Amino acid sequence: MRRKPFALCVDNTDYLASLIVGKVYRVLPDARAAKDEFVRIVDESGEDYLYHDSHFVFVDFPRAVKKRIREIEAVASHPIGTIVRK
């Protein structure tokens, strides 16, 4: 079964600085990790790491919401002042 593309953090035990409860993270493809019940996400450090599935509920969103999430990620990934918003 294919995993949904987003993970809602529901437990940040042992990862207080890395995961925010209630935050939605984009799932990065990693078939090997998924077989072992892990998920790869970019956490609050800005790097991608593996976390156990139990820290998340996996969700999907309508196309318009996914588009907005991609826009937010694009702005967040650029240094301040390099993108002029319309």
For residue 18, tell me if it sits in a domain. Answer: yes
Tens digit of each residue's pLDDT (9 = 90 or more) over 24-49: 999 999 999 999 999 999 999 989 99
Query: In this structure, what token pair is assigned to residue 16?
Result: 């207080």
Q: Which pLDDT score is estimated for 4?
A: 87
For residue 31, tell me if it sits in a domain. Answer: yes
For residue 85, tell me if it sits in a domain. Answer: no
For residue 84, tell me if it sits in a domain. Answer: no
For residue 1, tell me if it sits in a domain. Answer: no
Residue span of the structural domain in which 35 resides:
6-76
pTM of the model: 0.80
**Total structural domains within the chain:** 1
d(C-alpha 60, C-alpha 27), whole Å: 11
For residue 82, tell me if it sits in a domain. Answer: no
For residue 46, tell me if it sits in a domain. Answer: yes
d(C-alpha 53, C-alpha 40), whole Å: 9
Coil, strand, or helix at residue 14? coil
